[in-house]
Structure 1
Amino acid sequence: MDSVIIPTDRSGDIAFYLPFPVEVPYLVDVDKILFFSYPTQTFAAYENGILIYTGPTNMGRKKDQTPTGLFFTNWKAEETISTFDDEWKLLWNFNIENKKGVGFHQYDLPGYPASHSCLRLLEKDAKYLYKWADQWVLVDDENVKFKGTPVIVFGSYPFGKPKPWLQLVENPKALTIAESEIEKVTEPYLETILKEQEKRKKS
């Protein structure tokens, strides 16, 4: 049997209960960026360093782990069919890795990494990100003129070990993602992110 952890005070906005920081000054020059945390199974959207949206996600299972690193949103579709099983309908799908078919979309969240590499979301969250993120702009079928919104997938999940959030019973801040961690995972990619952002602005 699994466990359910309920905060004693539920009067605040969901952002105060999820692990991402509400502000990251390091991101002040980044117009839009989306983060997915593997260990906490949560995501966060920022605009110029301010958290504007956050929620839960379930990512790739041990056998089919979600790739980590920097990606950009590519194409989107309100409904598409999974490349793993043609009976699976993926709603509000936004692709981030075209060749591997990885994207974020609405699908059931069992509460742990269970997907075939994609990033599952609640329907309301999938709809929000579907409208919020930018698509790529193509020159032709083979070449990208402008990339979409940057997406960073980071961290690792302790497969085969107790679920990370069970630590919250002993330490309520066990899963907190510090501003410094966001800066650390972004720093290797910041130059690329700003370069691609400038290209789009000049279009």
Structure 2
Amino acid sequence: MTDASSFLRSALTLLAAGLLMSSCSSAPKEAAGQAGPPKRDDSFWIGDQVAGSPKLVIDLSAQRLRYYKGGKLVGLSPISSGRDGHDTPTGSFKITQKDVYHRSSIYGAYVDAEGNVVMEDVDSRIDPCPAGARFVGAKMHYFMRVVGAVGMHEGYLPGYPASHGCIRLPTKMASIFYHATPHGTPVQVTGNAAYAKYEPPVPLAPVTSEKVKKPKSNAPDGGMRPGSRKKAPKKGTVPPGTTLYL
């Protein structure tokens, strides 16, 4: 009886050791249906070969835009929504306008006859125009109007909500979504930007395997820094490629 008990204890000890070694040699797996926290470089698009009606869901808390076709998630992109005091409205909307070379009629810069920025980050409704200057609206390439003056467009993503209310997108995703989205597409805006966590910034045209062709414009650009309200004189002409964003 004693020998049998000793044998049983030895067998159980060996079995436990084997299970422990097995668990240490393999990486833990996520539970089915559970995903890790969103990453800043998680953009993707697989919608070209997927049929079905499109729908855009913008999550202000996560600072993400999710693109669905026929109920299937086919696209994802980080965003930068409205900053405090310029909150992006929530609710159910539809795309009512598309303009690949859109410029803001409200926000931009005052420039002189030579194209020098006299005053940056202006609100044309309240900031008086200096003598001899003119207003140049902020570029908003791949613009799709969502509600009122608010739309989604190409823009700089500093890693937090920073716009005047619009939804900024990286160049690549702004172009993809623009060409894939017809007028009347439903847009659902949910969440609260106050809960958004700081993330690494995303450049206008991140390095990708797909070449991005940016729209060209001959009109002068302003030199506004995203999120800035400082109005300072600029010396010289605006550098090529400098872009204003709502």
TM bin, normalised by shorter chain, reads 0.5 to 0.7
- Give 1:18 shift: 3.4
- Alpha-carbon distance in structure 2 between the residues aligned to 1:78 and 1:87: 14
- Alpha-carbon distance in structure 2 between the residues aligned to 1:77 and 1:18: 30
Moved over 6 A (4+): none
Residue among 27, 32, 39 paired with 2:61 = 39
Residue among 152, 156, 161 paired with 2:188 = 152
Matched position secondary structure for 1:60: coil
Is structure 2 residue 95 aligned with structure 1 residue 73? yes
Would you say the 8 A contact 2:58–2:66 is kept in 1?
yes
- Give 1:157 shift: 2.1
- Give 1:16 shift: 7.8
Query: What whole-Å deviation, never above 9, does each CA across 1:109-150 have from its counterpart, x for those lacking one?
Result: 111000001000001111011111111xxxxxxxxxxxx100
In structure 2, stretches of 5+ residues that fail to align are: 1-34, 43-51, 109-135, 200-246
Match of 2:165 in 1: 117
Query: What whole-Å deviation, never above 9, does each CA across 1:24-77 have from its counterpart, x for those lacking one?
Result: xxxxxx721101100110111001221101010000001100000001011111
Match of 1:104 in 2: 152
- Alpha-carbon distance in structure 2 between the residues aligned to 1:17 and 1:105: 25
Is structure 2 residue 142 aligned with structure 1 residue 92? yes
TM-score for the superposition, normalised by structure 2: 0.47
Residue among 17, 23, 38 paired with 1:18 = 38
Match of 1:198 in 2: none
Would you say the 8 A contact 1:18–1:55 is kept in 2?
no
Q: Which amino acid aligns with 1:75?
A: Q
RMSD (Å) for aligned C-alpha atoms: 2.5
- Give 1:165 shift: 5.9
Match of 1:51 in 2: 73
Would you say the 8 A contact 2:159–2:198 is kept in 1?
no
- Alpha-carbon distance in structure 1 between the residues aligned to 2:143 and 2:176: 11
- Alpha-carbon distance in structure 1 between the residues aligned to 2:138 and 2:188: 26
Change (3 A) 1:101 1:125: same
Q: Which amino acid aligns with 1:101?
A: A
The structure with the larger Rg is 2
Matched position secondary structure for 1:84: strand
Would you say the 8 A contact 1:108–1:120 is kept in 2?
yes
Would you say the 8 A contact 1:40–1:165 is kept in 2?
no
In structure 1, stretches of 5+ residues that fail to align are: 1-14, 21-29, 136-147, 167-203
Matched residues, number: 127
- Give 1:87 shift: 3.8
Would you say the 8 A contact 2:154–2:174 is kept in 1?
yes
Match of 2:217 in 1: none
Change (3 A) 1:54 1:118: same
Q: Which amino acid aligns with 1:57?
A: I
- Give 1:17 shift: 6.5
